[in-house]
Structure 1
Amino acid sequence: MQNDDGRSKTAVKVTTNGMIFNVFLTLFKFIAGITGHSSAMIADAVHSFSDFITDIVVIFGLKAAGKPADHNHHYGHGKIETLCAAFVGIALFIIGLEILLSGMGKILLVANGGSLEQPETIALVAAVVSILVKEGLYRYTLNAGRSIKSDAMIANAWHHRSDAFSSVGTMIGIGGAIILGGRWVILDPIAAVILSFFIFKVAFDISYTNINELTEAALDKDTVEEISHIIVSTEGVRDFHKLKTRKIGSNIATDVHIQVDKDLSLIEAHDICTEVENRLRSKFGTDSILYIHCEPDM
């Protein structure tokens, strides 16, 4: 895993590249929506614009999270990245709600005898381009986010995919309206409503995970068990208790009391603590925040 400086540079570079694509894609969608008489494509363009906004938020958060610890932030600035990831999750939920309400409104309009304007081919082309670009950005950002273990980048990757989902609904609606004509334009809002629930699911998963982290939730069960195994299997450790875990940015943080032979010298006991620390850092990263208290086994 890269150091904090390299990790921050990688994250900012990937997110900036995505932001550049979002700017051009948003402009293309707006033009296609207006000239192609497609309200669905204009709404899709607004969705892409929201990606541009969240890109800015993520870049700010990643740059801030990459700063070293200082006299006001003894544990570093990793929580800023978590806060940004939570923001992206909440933004996704709002976008999903917007797509749901918009789709329901159009369905009710057609059900009450109204009609939706038939779009032109340029709007369909824009939808296809959007799907390809946003799916590409999703994979690009997700792979980079996983490689540097950035929750904010992973959240932003799903934001890209939510835009691709939105464009799928737009493509189906526009394509159906062009090919079938007439009242079949209702396919657009129906697809949008279905896709909004996929967006809600992703938004919930991202928000829940990162809000939990902000409220100092413990690490997942498997990770805690792995930490426990490393501690108890270290030579010289007889037992341990008061294990507390949490996550700060991309790093784990643990507090634990280990018990060693009461007849050991201070140096020997300290060496055991150091060995536990080294083994944990080897597994979870050199930037792990570890506090190990040594007690005599009575």
Structure 2
Amino acid sequence: MEQAKRSPSSEAIRTTQLGIIISIILIFVKGISGHLGQSYALIADATESGADVISSGLLWVALIYAQRPPDKGHPYGHGKAEPVAAILIGFFLLAAAGWIAYHSIAFINTPHELPKSYTLIVLLLVIAAKEILFRYVYAVGKRINSQAVIADAYHHRSDAITSIAAFIGISIAIFLGKGYEGADDWAALFACLFIIYNAFKIIRPAFEEIMDKAPSDELVAAISHIASLHIEVKKVEKCYVRKMGLDYYVDMHIEVDGNTNVFDAHEIAHQVKDELRASNLHIKDTLIHVEPYLNKK
């Protein structure tokens, strides 16, 4: 029951707080283990967790700001703070990838000891923790329709990917021995490609949301279908939808009997609006224009 009563915004904030706590713990676990275990891939992995903390903190601030009610300067609310945060998270990922790549190349060209075998155990625990966190945060993001929370989930997935690459590199270095010390560093460098891919996977949909790109045809069709079920609606002539934060705003033209008086047409529009807002499609508000139905038969 408590889960059902929790608002989407508060649920997003709770997942973000959980991600920050886990990432902070992993920074120390991976950083200390990498330093003592002679593994730069693990140290690079700790850097990725540090980027997680920064981006999740940024998301936390954005989610709080996005909850602010509409005002004179922002009549549609402050929901655009979410995709802005998602874009910044994507750039944090790109910056982290560049930092890791730069230092990986430096370590490849610098002779160093083989990593310790216990670092593999640490990495297995990290991979499991981050993959579980990714799946949880991603599920919440999809459920509450938040691109920013989904972006945060992919940041956790990127962390898991760098850990997998580190595990492979360290395993090669340990089992093949002298002459393969650089496998650890090559693994960190290779992981950067996945981080960059996830960064652009985050940035693109967030940018499209800021630009008010139309949502899927399926969603527009579902909204039009609900409006068309009203007994007085003869036809849904136009339906434009845009996303604002966790919700959608709809501009719609409906056609009713041409003999309907203004009062009744106004009431029909309000009824359609209420029916749309009562649906499970995350519709915050609807602007409905009523037109006379022209039977062309």
**Normalising by structure 1, what TM-score?**
0.87
> For residue 32 of structure 2, what is the aligned residue in structure 1?
31
Alpha-carbon shift at residue 138 of structure 1 (Å):
1.1
- For 2:101 and 2:220, the matched residues in 1 are separated by 39
**Pairing 1:166-205 to 2, within 5 Å after superposition:** 166-205=162-201
- For 2:274 and 2:151, the matched residues in 1 are separated by 31
Partner-residue secondary structure (3-state), 1:183: coil
Q: Deviations over 1:18-59 (max 9, x none)?
A: 211111110121111111122221111111111110110011
> For residue 243 of structure 2, what is the aligned residue in structure 1?
247
Are 2:238 and 2:253, in contact at CA under 8 Å, matched by a contact in 1?
yes
Aligned length: 292
**Normalising by structure 2, what TM-score?**
0.87
Q: Does 1:89 align with 2:90?
A: yes
Partner-residue secondary structure (3-state), 1:118: coil
Q: Name the amino acid aligned to 1:18.
A: G
> For residue 66 of structure 1, what is the aligned residue in structure 2?
67
Deviates more, 1:36-45 or 1:229-238: 229-238
> For residue 80 of structure 1, what is the aligned residue in structure 2?
81
> For residue 10 of structure 1, what is the aligned residue in structure 2?
11
Alpha-carbon shift at residue 141 of structure 1 (Å):
1.5
Q: Deviations over 1:236-275 (max 9, x none)?
A: 2233445322100111111122222221122221232123
Deviates more, 1:154-163 or 1:214-223: 214-223
> For residue 291 of structure 2, what is the aligned residue in structure 1?
295
Are 2:83 and 2:148, in contact at CA under 8 Å, matched by a contact in 1?
yes
Deviates more, 1:132-141 or 1:274-283: 274-283
Alpha-carbon shift at residue 184 of structure 1 (Å):
3.0
Alpha-carbon shift at residue 214 of structure 1 (Å):
0.5
**Pairing 1:82-121 to 2, within 5 Å after superposition:** 82-100=83-101, 109=109, 115-121=111-117
Q: Name the amino acid aligned to 2:88.
A: F
**Cα gap change, 1:87/1:175 in structure 2, threshold over 3 Å: closer, same or farther?**
same
Q: Does 1:130 align with 2:126?
A: yes
Deviates more, 1:229-238 or 1:173-182: 229-238
Are 1:51 and 1:159, in contact at CA under 8 Å, matched by a contact in 2?
yes
Partner-residue secondary structure (3-state), 1:185: coil
> For residue 206 of structure 2, what is the aligned residue in structure 1?
210
- For structure 2, the residue ranges without an aligned partner over 5 or more in a row are none
Q: Does 1:161 align with 2:157?
A: yes
Are 2:276 and 2:283, in contact at CA under 8 Å, matched by a contact in 1?
no
Alpha-carbon shift at residue 284 of structure 1 (Å):
4.3
Are 1:252 and 1:284, in contact at CA under 8 Å, matched by a contact in 2?
no
Alpha-carbon shift at residue 100 of structure 1 (Å):
4.9
Q: Deviations over 1:71-99 (max 9, x none)?
A: 32211111111211222223223334444
- For 1:11 and 1:201, the matched residues in 2 are separated by 24
- For 2:95 and 2:159, the matched residues in 1 are separated by 13
RMSD (Å), alpha carbons: 2.5
Alpha-carbon shift at residue 279 of structure 1 (Å):
2.8
Partner-residue secondary structure (3-state), 1:288: strand
- For 1:287 and 1:226, the matched residues in 2 are separated by 12
- For structure 1, the residue ranges without an aligned partner over 5 or more in a row are none
**Cα gap change, 1:222/1:99 in structure 2, threshold over 3 Å: closer, same or farther?**
farther
Q: Name the amino acid aligned to 2:163.
A: S
- For 1:134 and 1:239, the matched residues in 2 are separated by 49
> For residue 19 of structure 1, what is the aligned residue in structure 2?
20
Deviates more, 1:159-168 or 1:84-93: 84-93
Partner-residue secondary structure (3-state), 2:113: coil
- For 2:67 and 2:276, the matched residues in 1 are separated by 22
Alpha-carbon shift at residue 142 of structure 1 (Å):
1.8
Deviates more, 1:159-168 or 1:231-240: 231-240
Q: Deviations over 1:154-182 (max 9, x none)?
A: 11111011001001111111122112212
Are 1:251 and 1:288, in contact at CA under 8 Å, matched by a contact in 2?
yes
Q: In the alignment, which of 269, 272, 295 is matched to residue 268 of structure 2?
A: 272
> For residue 51 of structure 1, what is the aligned residue in structure 2?
52
